[in-house]
Amino acid sequence: MTSALPPVAENTSQSIMDLEREHLLQNYARYPLAITRGKGCYVYDPEGRRYLDFITGIGVNALGHAHPRIVRAIRDQAARLIHSSNLYYHPYQGKLAKRLAQMSGLERAFFANTGTEAIEGALKMVRAHGHAIDPEKYEIVSLENSFHGRTLGALSITGQPKYRTDFEPLLPGAKFVPINDVAALEAAVSEHTAGIVLELIQGEGGIYPLTQEFAAKARGLADHYNALLVADETQCGVGRPGTYFAYQRSHPVILPDVMVAAKPVACGIPLGFIMANEKAAAAIKPGMHGSTFGGGPLACRVALEFLDVLDELLPAIQRVGGYFHLKLNDLARKHALVKEVRGFGLMLGMELAIPGKQIVLDAIGEGLLINCTHETVLRLLPPYIATEKEVDQAIRILGKLLSKAAA
């Protein structure tokens, strides 16, 4: 006997939007779209319209929607144990930590729930590391145009005034240098520096990859001044660049001391994590950090399932990502509005000569979900299961919209 589900059909797009407008904090400038279900690379609105999802909840739904292995893992684990707290052990944190250590080359894990929470933990690690050497060693160097999250610590090292100004004063000791400016980095780092925090591919800032030279200089300076090098892989990590982590794209690999990641790792179940080498991990002693929800059995079990699938998908991410990049470059040649295409794997950005918001809105009308970051950069974060067929569909729509925008 099947039990009847409550009638969700009464939710029209309009009724969903109206109710939110009345009762929610008005902090989000949402696009005029309500989503009620998804399958594979597509999501559906309450009226049954279908959209190709090439933004994946800002890089979260790595296996698209309703992936059978993820659904099975969630169902099975939900029926066993959803939450147990960090007062006790459960079988999946240790397994996931071991797996992530093998993937990252960093030995110890801490589990949080989001990117910004993972960054907060990393900042505490950096501060404690510096403090143990000298209380004056508390400065953190990060990059202009960076984004590290919305909590006060993360905002303190986020190099975009529009996110910070309303909340100042923030943490003292934050210094910002322009991306890929080796001389500026050299000038900013000193014996007062406790940590250097980098996104190997800036996401929110407009899909800007760091050069190998710059990343290597950051590694060298961190070693020289006994500071911790932190890679924020929240957006650019966990398979999206075609390697497990973006710092693994360089040859030889420039290994950070600390890495944080989040978004795709549990395919939509909130999970963030810090990986640290023994030196950085030693800064956090018993009682110095924690999280009620972080690393719960449901999230960790789902992450383990996802990582099994990811191993099979990495070659496809590289192949389809390369194909997408090529096709976007074709568009750039045909449309003068496109200034540049940037990114790696399935993390791509198309910089326009005009603001991108209207194109994003028009794309929704054409059944394609993307977004715009930094005013003029169309950001494309497709699911890892996307194939050339879905890429072709997205390219057709983008080509049409670029022609319209130029008219």
Ligand X SMILES: Cc1ncc(COP(=O)(O)O)c(C=O)c1O
Spell out the residues 6+ positions from residue 312 whose beta carbon is closer than 8 angstroms to its own.
none
Check binding of 148 to ligand X (CB under 6 A): yes
Reference 240, options 373, 62, 58; nearest CA is 62
| Contact assessment for residue 265 and residue 271, using Cβ atoms and an 8 Å cutoff | yes
- Which residue's CB is nearer to ligand X, number 139 or number 233? 233
Check binding of 373 to ligand X (CB under 6 A): no
Reference 127, options 79, 167, 174; nearest CA is 174
User: Using CB under 6 A, which of 120, 199, 257, 390 touches ligand X?
Assistant: 199
Q: Which two tokens stand for residue 8?
A: 């969700």
- Cβ-proximal residue to ligand X, closest one: 115
149: burial class by Cβ within 10 Å (0-12, 13-18, 19+)? buried
Residue with tokens 């075609």: 242
User: Using CB under 6 A, which of 34, 52, 74, 119 touches ligand X?
Assistant: 119
Residue with tokens 């589990």: 111
- Which residue's CB is nearer to ligand X, number 205 or number 321? 205
- Which residue's CB is nearer to ligand X, number 96 or number 157? 157
Check binding of 120 to ligand X (CB under 6 A): no
Rg (CA), the chain: 21
Binding segment (CB under 6 A) for ligand X, from list 142-150, 211-219, 305-313, 334-342: 142-150
- Considering only residues 301-360, where is the footprint of ligand X by CB under 6 A? none
Check binding of 291 to ligand X (CB under 6 A): no
Element (H, E) at 70: helix 68-80
Spell out the residues 6+ positions from residue 367 whose beta carbon is closer than 8 angstroms to its own.
49, 50, 51, 52, 397
Look at the alpha carbons of 160, 164, 165, 171 in this order and tell me if their dihedral is positive or negative. negative
User: Using CB under 6 A, which of 104, 114, 291, 373 touches ligand X?
Assistant: 114
- Considering only residues 230-269, where is the footprint of ligand X by CB under 6 A? 232, 234-235, 262
User: Using CB under 6 A, which of 57, 149, 209, 296 touches ligand X?
Assistant: 149
Cβ 208 to ligand X, closest distance in Å? 12
Cβ 204 to ligand X, closest distance in Å? 5
Check binding of 204 to ligand X (CB under 6 A): yes
Site residues (vs ligand X, CB under 6 A): 58, 114-116, 119, 147-149, 199, 203-204, 232, 234-235, 262
